[in-house]
Structure 1
Amino acid sequence: MKLYPAIDLKDGQCVRLYQGRMDAATVYNDDPAAQAKAFETAGCHALHLVDLNGAFAGQPVNGAAVERVVATVGVPVQLGGGIRDLTTIAQWLDRGVDRVILGTLAVREPDTVIEACRRHPGRIAVGIDARGGRVAVEGWAETADDLPVADLARRFEQAGVAAIVFTDIDRDGTLTGVNVDAVADLAEAVSIPIIASGGVRGLGDLQALVERQKHCSGTIEGVIAGRALYDGTLDLGAALALLEAP
């Protein structure tokens, strides 16, 4: 299982939101590239970036910050937020982003996501952000009418999606613990690997995911951690040792 430290970008800074609210942002670093390098130096093998402004604007906003991160580190970077068309997808992949995450596009234009998977095998992930078990879009500002998480995931079973990044919005940035049951249920509902996001508080959350994976018919590929790393409730070294243990 892989750990993905989160670098969420708002106005060029590295921040964390509380339950997806842009008015509840805590700034952790004015230099996202330096933060990315620190994670890489500590032993992280992948990074998770989100253009928060872009998610609301529907187009990339923090592009310069993303490019600096990609130029600074040598580990794979996955990026989500404001990526809404094939041209933008191709541009980011050409600029060195390893994998793009498509959320709103997966709900609004699933055929475009399928075409992106065809053009860029292994480099497209679907972001499914849920509030109360229902899919949220447009930077989490809207909830798709009565669309259960598993139903959306099943639309891409045969598309070649590399992973599904599943975020429990109600827990995101709250340090209240991962929704392990929801993550495992989604992993068992589809054959696509799942990356858990939202609510990581400490090592116990990672242990719970690792244990659940042992008895899960699906694949929990990794977990995204943000505030827990920045606030120190999750020790990065211990987290990497646990998740990378044979």
Structure 2
Amino acid sequence: MIRRHLRLLAAQLRLSGLLALQYRWEFLLDGFFSIFWTITALLPLWLVFDERPVIAGYTYPEALTVVGFFTLLQGILEGAIHPSLATVIDAIRTGTLDFVLLKPADAQFLVSTQRFAPWRGVNVLAGIGVLIYAFFEMGRAPEPAHVALAGLMLVLAIIVLYALWIIVVSAAFYVGRIDNLRFLFLAVFDAARWPSTVYRGVLSFVFTFVIPLALMTSYPAGALLGRLPWSTVIGAWIGGLVFALAARAVWLTSIRRYTSASS
């Protein structure tokens, strides 16, 4: 079963790559604008830290690590998660989701891997570049143990980001069009470019426990900087896996409400 799903994933990646190569200029332009927007996103951070050397416990290079993980996750969201799941909304509305449900594979896996945008991988490289630049500004290299822990937290961040998007897409089974909800999610996700300690009161609670933006960017950055306690790591993984299971339950419950085009 796992081997078959891996073959399906490889086939979808290959098809998406071939499609992207048909539009080489689009690939180059998207790559250029991805780098351009990454650079412009650093300007507010630079302006803020130009006035104060430390904000919410972060220096400028340390805050750059948060931006680096945000840019990296943005590339994964726009390149691997959003292109596939965005098509589910139209499939639900038109009834073409029937063709997915009739295939001998898990429906959630199929709708999550049906389309990729390889050119968005430039954002991933840009995010790694920002992380390298951040430690260059610090005048040191991250410790290998911290890199490994940051990688572990990044995996969890991707799981939670995917689970959030599954919940958003599942709303289409109930309301049909969820364009506003999608745009709201993308706008809220933009807040993850700032360290979680910047937010206070209600926003701190919401961005930690309701919409776990802190888990997505600040926790991996904290792990890379060597300031993330193991108690937080364990708690984050428990909470993240529970959140992922809840998203799976939401998907299964929602798909039972689907009325096919032939019924």
Q: TM-score, normalised by structure 1?
A: 0.26
- Which of structures 1 and 2 has the bigger CA Rg? 2
Q: Which has the higher helix share?
A: 2
Q: Highest relative contact order (Cα 8 Å, sep 6+), 1 or 2?
A: 2
Q: TM-score, normalised by structure 2?
A: 0.25
